[in-house]
Amino acid sequence: MHSTATSKIAVSGRPLRVALVFPPAMAPTSPPLGIAALKAYLSENSTAVVRNFDLNLDYHEKALEWVRDGLLKVSLRKMDHKAVARRAPAARDFFRGGSGMADFLDLSAYNAHAETYTSFGSVLDGLFESFSRKILLDSPAPPLVGKFFDDLIEPLTSFRPDLVGFSILFSQQLFFALALSKLCKKMGAKTVLGGATFSVMPDPGLLLSGPVGVLIGGERRDLDLSALVDFLIVGEGEFGLNSLVEGLSSGGDLSRSPGLIHAGSTGEFRVAPKAPSELDRLPLPDFSDFPLDLYHSPYPVLPYLSARGCPWRRCAFCTHQKTYLEYREESAEVSAEKIVALKKRHGVSHFSLVDEMIHPRRLDRLCRGIAGEGIYFSAYARPAGGFNGEVFRRAYQSGLRVLMWGVESGSRRVLDLMCKGTDIARVGEILEGSHDAGIWNLIFAIFGFPTETDAEWESTLDFIDTNRTRIEALSKSRFVLLEGSNILRDPSRFGISAVKDREEKDPVSIAYDYETTEGLTHSQIDLKFRETVPRLTAIGKSPHFGRFRDHMLIFASA
């Protein structure tokens, strides 16, 4: 760690100006919660002037504008760039409800537009991530790329920030954030990265302690991130970011900032990450900087986090327990009051409860608090004890319209190996109870878990087929071995004989290759998954609801 921990930004007697940025790239169907919560906390606890910038939304809007005007030409399979110039912006407008709610709720029309939107987004994001890498490594890029990124950060430039914080929720945002950080450094601003991605990494400080390898065009080249990023904050961000802001304003000792890592340090933080323990006392998230009517959804859907961490915390494959220091709940009564307050402040009726999972007692208390308020919401849950018809009926009456269930497998042995703590026979009953109450069910399924056999794979498909009338949406994935999971701590327990680092691995990647002693081989899993996808795509009301969960909520509440 640097010994000179009293860095100060010269601000000529004015308050520090802090820009909090949500970088590309993911579908902008709702505003980002993380920087909304951080702005509220900083505004209440520091002297800084704080403004939020959703550059993910701006990126999509600018790209669609360029495509429509012919400045950016994107072709898709069976669609040339002229057709894309018409149909991609039309899909965005359709998602906003521009054709009217009756058209939006027409599933055939919705699926057609969603297919265009998804295909376009996939190509666009791959293209601009490549451009981001070229910007970082000073490699040749089309002349318009520089103008695109300069235009993208123009709102930041106008704000004249002293400190720019990038909130990185998913690893695919990293290179966009670094390219934007490079441009912010040219403005003279200090930059800090934070978010869930870094909390899961085994040693995130290594990113700033020396050159890291970056892939570009199949070649690995060294990149010194410490020239682009001044600080990392690991863990929940309120205390660390507030301490950094106050330290930079006053010249205080930054080594006392929880979870803070300096550029060029040894890759360690002096003070362990710290997070608020009393969630009831946190301020209401501040969504005021976001143009809620421009998100790609016919109605605004606000995300809300009422608890941090997971009350179960045992699933062998999960890394979410690393994101938060420990499980804590906001009291259900306070959560209800805050959700109602957000409804009144922003004039919204739809909310996505983004807790890792909500247990039935807490759900029941929350629903009692928002009953009669005209609120519709979705939530994540584990299909285990405590959920019954009475809970579901009260929840529906209070506005719960979507439950997203971690089902994962139809095999009792695989579920036990995953440490899910669920009984597959009971899972079907829970889905039936939820469905009968009028709540839409989305289920998550993982295929190719270590040692899974062909028969166990088929048992998952059989479970899905048996319950298909109770499943409105399906999110399917292949198993990936990740840093931070219990499997990686004790791989032999799960039939893994060898763990290997991936050769083509980017700096924040937490995935590993592995070999197993029994069960399906990787080549068998590859083949079976390709064969299974068409069968799974037919499950539910739309194959796109697993991705566009905010849209699913709107459909379910119509």
Confidence at residue 143, expressed as pLDDT on a 0 to 100 scale: 87
Binned at pLDDT 50, 70 and 90, residue 11 comes out as: low
**Average pLDDT in the chain:** 92
Residue type for 281, please?
R
Backbone angle region of 539, left / alpha / beta, with phi > 0 → left and psi within -120 to 50 → alpha: beta
Look at the chain and count its residues.
Answer: 558
Look up residue 76 and give its DSSP letter.
B
Confidence at residue 8, expressed as pLDDT on a 0 to 100 scale: 55
Q: pLDDT by residue (tens digit) across 113-150?
A: 999 999 999 999 999 999 999 999 999 888 899 999 99
All structural domains of the chain, each given as residue ranges with its CATH number in brackets, are 17-55+160-262 (3.40.50), 60-144 (no CATH), 299-557 (3.80.30.20)
Stated as kind and residue range, the H or E segment containing 455 is: helix 454-466
Q: What is the pTM of this model?
A: 0.94
Residues 240 and 223: their CA atoms lie apart, in Å, by: 26
DSSP annotation string for 233-250: E-SSHHHHHHHHHHHHHH
Query: Which tokens is 113 given?
Result: 């537009």
Query: Which tokens is 479 given?
Result: 């198993």
Pair 368, 394: CB distance under 8 Å: yes
Lowest mean pLDDT among 195-209, 485-499, 511-525: 195-209
Place of tokens 């079907």: 428
Look up residue 283 and give its DSSP letter.
P
Query: How are beta strands 163-167 and 49-54 bridged, if at all?
Result: unpaired
Binned at pLDDT 50, 70 and 90, residue 9 comes out as: low
Confidence at residue 275, expressed as pLDDT on a 0 to 100 scale: 84
Q: How far is CA 73 from the centre of its chain?
A: 28
Confidence at residue 255, expressed as pLDDT on a 0 to 100 scale: 82
Q: Where are the alpha helices (DSSP H) in 187-318?
A: 196-200, 237-250
